Amino acid sequence: MAKSDVKVLGAWPSPYVMRARIALNIKSVEYELLEETFAPKSQLLLQSNPVHKKIPVLIHGDKPVCESLIIVEYIDEVWASGPSILPSNPLDRATARFWAAYVDEKWFPSLRGIGAAQEDEARKAAIEQVAEGLSQMEEAFQKTSKGKDFFSGDKIGYLDIAFGCFLGWLRVTEKMNGVKFLDEAKIPGLVKWAEKFSADPAVKDVMPETDKLAEVAKIIMARLRAAGASK
Amino acid sequence: MADEVVLLDFWPSPFGMRLRIALAEKGIEYEYKDEDLRNKSPLLLQMNPVHKKIPVLIHNGKPVCESLVALQYIDEVWNDKAPLLPSDSYLRAQARFWADFVDKKIYDIGRKLWTTKGEEYDAAKKDFLDCIGLLEGELGDKSFFGGETLGFVDVALIPFYSWFLVYEKSGNLSVEAEHPKFIAWVKRCMEKESVSKSLPEQEKVYDFAMLIRKKHGIE
């Protein structure tokens, strides 16, 4: 299909947008990245995602697909001849989807909680939560990888994408809080996995540089603190 | 070897009801176990150690947690009858989107309808009706979200109808008055045995909710 037939409406710092781009890269699908402007949100965004008005949106032909994990599954199904993103066994699929939901509903909010914390006590508690979540993910990794490099086995798949997209933000959080999350002593499997994932051909060009992301983080954190302070 | 299916559930849970409906639609025999959530069974803690929540589908000893994950699992394993997701990839993405929308909105906003007052309640009421309106728009002229038969979104959404007496009685709310097409869809769903047998009576759910409200001192 021609490049213009597949568009990703997104923004380079967004881990959710990364998911869509990695999936397209795995399938070797050429696409056009449309950087969303925000403030105000573009007409295209409001039209293609009227319900949530959020990125990423995958626009295939003229049809929009919203919600990053739904986009990843869509890409896997449409470009079925490329390498599989979801496992083929229904129980393995359910396990992958379960952990992706855990990452989205529990783990990443706890990471965001560090930036939003107003005092030291709250920040320490949030850091503890993130570390606990990582132990949980280490266990999941040991179980699902079955000794191989990735959650999905030999090649990156659904859960690698769902979790790995947050590595940039995890590294930024480490830097800005002087804390080491990716600790070999505590989560050896994940530390190795993080390196391999970041270096994967489908990932390396869309993984944002930690320093650039740190600049964005400073702006976001200032906004969060202002919002918290004004309550 | 015969399939062994166990459902760990809690009778008023809309999330549990989703799985009851799906299993009934597919004609799957299973053992239903009602949990006392104040005293969770060792089985529940073993099968869902991460969240310790119901529903949990246990298939031949292996647990599947999170209701929409379990719904897809049921659809994929028992794929010979009553498909919940369509075969077209774009329509599948749309179905997943709207089921996700139900998850993000209906439960939390619905909860506010019977646990809050004043401004917070008014905002929740508006939000709730807006969401129902959006869902009504997505349904359009179809009999069900799944077309002619119950689909993924129908199964994800209809359980919340068992909570409508709770949502409506707690304030001055009538979904039918604002969105009659939505209630027409509800009635079509309730005509199906798989649905009517899976949902508890609204009065029973109402009594349960009022007990919870009293217990937590929310009046």
Whether residue B83 lies inside any domain: the answer is no
Residues with Cβ within 8 Å of A91's Cβ and at least 6 positions away in sequence, in order, are B59, B62, B64, B73
Q: Which residues pair with A161 in a beta bridge?
A: none
CA atoms within 13 A on the CB side of A210: 9
Pick one of 3.30.750.24, 1.10.730.10, 1.20.1050.10, 3.40.50.10860 as the CATH number of A90-222. 1.20.1050.10
**Which chain A positions have a beta carbon within 8 Å of B65's beta carbon?**
98
Residue after which a domain boundary falls, among B14, B46, B77: B77
Model confidence over B10-39: pLDDT tens digits? 999 999 999 999 999 999 999 999 999 999
Model confidence over A40-97: pLDDT tens digits? 899 999 999 999 999 999 999 999 999 999 999 999 999 999 999 999 999 999 999 9
Instruction: Write out the H or E segment, with its range, that includes residue B62.
Output: strand B62-65
For chains A and B, CB pairs below 8 A equal: 52
Instruction: Put residue A38 in one of left, alpha, beta given phi > 0 → left and psi -120 to 50 → alpha.
Output: left
pLDDT value, residue B1: 55
**Mutant choice from A58, A65, A129, A136 vs B, greatest count of B C-beta within 10 A:** A65
B50, B65, B76: residue with CB nearest A93? B76
B201 CA to chain A: closest CA distance, Å? 31
Residues B72 and B100 in one domain: no
pLDDT value, residue B216: 84
Whether residue B97 lies inside any domain: the answer is yes
Whether residue B135 lies inside any domain: the answer is yes
Phi and psi at residue B37, in whole multiples of 5°?
-70, -15
pLDDT at A231 over 50: no
Model confidence over A168-223: pLDDT tens digits? 999 999 999 999 999 999 999 999 999 999 999 999 999 999 999 999 988 877 77
Residues B123 and B212 in one domain: yes
Model confidence over A78-94: pLDDT tens digits? 999 999 999 999 999 99
Residues B59 and B107 in one domain: no
Q: Which of A169, A165, A167 is nearest to A214 (CA)?
A: A169
Find residues 178-217 of chain B whose CB sits inside 8 Å of chain A.
Answer: none
**Number of folded domains in chain B?**
2
pLDDT value, residue B219: 59
Q: Do A90 and B70 touch (CB under 8 A)?
A: no
Model confidence over B178-193: pLDDT tens digits? 999 999 999 999 999 9
| CATH class in words for A3-78 | alpha beta
- Reported residue count of chain A is 231
Cβ of residue B76 closer than 8 Å to a chain A Cβ: yes
Residues B122 and B154 in one domain: yes
Cβ of residue B107 closer than 8 Å to a chain A Cβ: no
Domain that holds residue B13: 5-77
CB B20 within 8 Å of CB B67: no
